[in-house]
Structure 1
Amino acid sequence: MLIVQLAWRDQLRDRFFLLCNVAVMVGILVPLLVLFGVKNGVYQALIGEMLANPANLQIDTAGNATLSEAEIAPLRDWPEIAFMTPKIRAQFDYINVRATEGRRMRAALLIPTGAGDPTLPSGAELAEGAVAISAQLAAQLDLAPGADLQLITQAEGRPRQLVLPARVGLVLPEGAAAGRAVLAPYAVLDLVEAFYDSYSLPEHGIDGTRPLEDRVTAYEGVRVYARRLEDLAALQARIESQLGLGTTAHTREVESLLGLGRKLNLALAGTAVLAAVGLGAALVLGFWSEVARKRLVLAGIALLGVPGRQLALFPVVQALITAALGLVLSFALYALAGRGAQAVFGQGLPGGAPLAVITPAQAAAISAAVLVLVLAAAAAAAWSAQRLDPATVLREGA
């Protein structure tokens, strides 16, 4: 299109004014990009550190209750729950652990687990007869994956203890489970509880006062993991309302971090709005003055037969050129500033996370917002160009 070519050539001829407008954009955009990138980097690092500990997504019912399968079944269909397993009474979930051929014995917490448990490594499943153990327990008993061990009840005064053979399927990473812990399928915990309730377990040589077939399945609580940190508080309240039980979770810490993110977003949004107003005003005056300065040029183009609607595209095309150069230079300077900030301040972030982060989607959204702002600023100049009367302009110029 002729008007596009003319606008481009005119822009190249008046490079000084182009650089002035680009400098205005860069001076406002680069600090905003750095602030936005640092906010993203620091916040994502803190969120990543919190998500690295699955316990931050965990909700446990407090105390002992008697829950039927019908009472906990609705929870299995809640979309905000990533994993759930029932629990046994708290006084029965400690056992002694030792290697099958070993002499050392350690007390450990017995925790129910299953497929999809966030405490286990992603995609890991325990084979039949296998358990997962904490890093501390593995170190103290010198256990490795594949080792045979025994789970021994701690009941006092019983003529015979329940001894369950097991195999180490997984040794959990440091921090995945605190202290000495054994993660086993719920059936193992249910068997231990049946032993403490004096039921007979003939397969394990245990004679009790009640036959096992008379036992009614009941749960004393649930162990739940939220799918997202944002779901934790609402899910905890919903579980308490559904089951009528108190719960424990790291809700306060999670909500504190999420609240920090919301406050940072609000502060950054307010800064961006003020910056957009300032940039918009500067660009409106810049583009308007450019049209006023080039009235003779535009009048000459109009005399060549270019209609007013196309003439209005002249400042719009030049505005788009300015925006494109401003965005490219701004993101380039942001990248340099981000590297410098990373070198100076980034060493303290958890896991070596980058200090400044802007995703491609965010960069595209920022670019689109800037283009809209520039086009809006150019609209006044386009209106002024469209209303030019060539004869009047040339007569006044003469």
Structure 2
Amino acid sequence: MRLVLGLSLRDLARDWVHLLCNAAVLAGILVPLLVLFGVRNGVYEALLGQLTRNPAVLQIDTRGNTRFSAADAEELRAWPEVAFVTPKTRSLFDYVNLRPAGGRAVRDAVAVPSGSGDPMLAPLRELGAEDVALSAMLAQQLGVGVGERVELITQATDRPRQLLLPRRVAAVLPEDRLSGRSVLAGLATLDLIEAFYDEYALPEHGITQGRPLAQRVPDYAGLRVYAADLGSLAPLQNRIETRFGVDTEAQTARVMQVLGLGRNLALALALTAAVAGIGLAAALVFGFWAEVARKRRMLANLALLGLRPGQIGLIPLIQALATALVGLGLSFGLFAVAAQVAEHLFDSGLTQEGGLVRLSLAQGAAIAAAVVVFVTASALAAARSALRIDPAVVLRESA
């Protein structure tokens, strides 16, 4: 085997022009495909990263006021497409006033229900009973930050006193998560506010007039649901609407557009690679076969010197493998240069983190392995031709 390997490589080094020609053919096909694949990765992963970094993209909200029970929420939690769900109180009572503890500046805000595992709170797991999370706009207007205290105030014309709930700011959420003037609070806090408006007595908060709170049966007017992943968003939205007969709103169109772009880019790249692969296979097959035809006399002499037919057939395969390795080295070198040029020519906000052209080490290794197998397979016709060489016939023809 060592003898065959040495003979094959020395012969290839002697015909270095043919080696470079075959390597150039390989690089001419592979480099554009690598650049296209890298750009597809860069653009698509950047768009996908924008979506996955923002948990609000996975949110589904029911529209209008529809009756839901705690059992409905529990049913949803059992669905595999659901990552988080919490009931919502009636939208009529979603509005509260907030002010810094001991301050005078008052801002109205929309109260949003939360619960354990709420993706909006990440990295926090949940809000404490006395905690709230504020949107960036609301926190700025109130002049408060994390750890400071605020007061939630609600009042109704038919109640003798207003409801005042002191709370601690556990988090300030960015605008893309919680927009406008919004406050995220536990469902128990929103239930308490709704009970106040429904004229129940709340003696713990100094409101003694009204119906006993023990008689109240919680009743919810909506659901706030998060899908487990981007692919589950559309099916989950459709399933909720079908199961409960309600309208919902979500960023499904945006998500489907990005996922569809990824599929289309992958399909276009696959078609391009298939067409290019057919052309490359034809070039390599005929190229390797022509090399064997050109070297028939040399191979016949090697057979007369004692090399077996199997060893003769290995020569074009070894040379094809060496050509693949040289072509891969040239291709990845040119790809690195092309990627740097593309980074300087195109300036996109999508590529600030990972670059416009991305190719991971695992992807590069997989491509290299596929090319080695592809090129070696292309040399099988040449190897078969070498196996059929009859030294007597070749030498007689030469004479």
What TM-score, normalized by structure 1, do the two folds share?
Answer: 0.95
Report deviation, 1:316: 0.9
Report deviation, 1:24: 0.2
Q: Which amino acid aligns with 1:236?
A: Q
Report deviation, 1:63: 1.3
Partner of 1:218: 219
Q: Structure 1 residues 154, 372: CA separation in 2 closer, same or farther (over 3 Å shift)?
A: farther
1:20 lines up with 2:7 in the alignment:
no
Q: Structure 1 residues 327, 123: CA separation in 2 closer, same or farther (over 3 Å shift)?
A: farther
Q: How does 1:39-188 map to 2 (within 5 A)?
A: 39-188=40-189
Partner of 2:207: 206
SS of the aligned residue for 2:165 comes to strand
Partner of 2:8: 7
Report deviation, 1:177: 0.9
Q: Does the aligned pair in 2 maintain the 1:100–1:149 contact within 8 Å?
A: yes
Provide the rounded CA distance (Å) in 1 between the counterparts of 2:294 and 2:169: 81
Q: Does the aligned pair in 2 maintain the 1:38–1:355 contact within 8 Å?
A: yes
Report deviation, 1:34: 0.6
Count of residue correspondences: 398
Partner of 1:373: 374
What TM-score, normalized by structure 2, do the two folds share?
Answer: 0.95
Q: Does the aligned pair in 2 maintain the 1:68–1:218 contact within 8 Å?
A: yes
Q: Does the aligned pair in 1 maintain the 2:133–2:172 contact within 8 Å?
A: yes
Provide the rounded CA distance (Å) in 1 between the counterparts of 2:79 and 2:4: 60
Q: Does the aligned pair in 2 maintain the 1:155–1:196 contact within 8 Å?
A: yes
Provide the rounded CA distance (Å) in 2 between the counterparts of 1:62 and 1:210: 30
Partner of 2:267: 266
Provide the rounded CA distance (Å) in 1 between the counterparts of 2:352 and 2:35: 21
1:273-295: CA deviations, max 9, x gaps?
A: 11001111110111001111111
Provide the rounded CA distance (Å) in 2 between the counterparts of 1:133 and 1:390: 87
Q: Structure 1 residues 375, 97: CA separation in 2 closer, same or farther (over 3 Å shift)?
A: same
1:318 lines up with 2:319 in the alignment:
yes
Q: Does the aligned pair in 2 maintain the 1:71–1:243 contact within 8 Å?
A: no
Cα RMSD after superposing both structures: 1.6
Q: Which amino acid aligns with 1:315?
A: P
SS of the aligned residue for 2:64 comes to coil
Report deviation, 1:257: 1.7
Aligned-residue sequence identity (percent) comes to 57
1:54-83: CA deviations, max 9, x gaps?
A: 221110111112222222212212232222
1:174-210: CA deviations, max 9, x gaps?
A: 4221011111111111111111222211111223432
Q: Which amino acid aligns with 1:178?
A: S
Report deviation, 1:50: 2.6
Q: Which amino acid aligns with 1:224?
A: V
Q: Does the aligned pair in 1 maintain the 2:42–2:351 contact within 8 Å?
A: no
Q: Does the aligned pair in 2 maintain the 1:54–1:119 contact within 8 Å?
A: yes
Report deviation, 1:128: 3.9
Give unmatched runs, 5+ long, in structure 2: none
Provide the rounded CA distance (Å) in 2 between the counterparts of 1:350 and 1:137: 31
Q: How does 1:187-198 map to 2 (within 5 A)?
A: 187-198=188-199
Which stretch shifts more, 149-158 or 334-343? Answer: 149-158
Provide the rounded CA distance (Å) in 1 between the counterparts of 2:349 and 2:72: 47
Provide the rounded CA distance (Å) in 1 between the counterparts of 2:381 and 2:163: 85
Q: Which amino acid aligns with 1:63?
A: G
1:229-270: CA deviations, max 9, x gaps?
A: 121111111122222222110111111121122111111111
1:281 lines up with 2:282 in the alignment:
yes
Q: Does the aligned pair in 1 maintain the 2:155–2:161 contact within 8 Å?
A: no
Q: Does the aligned pair in 2 maintain the 1:95–1:110 contact within 8 Å?
A: yes
Q: Which amino acid aligns with 1:43?
A: Y
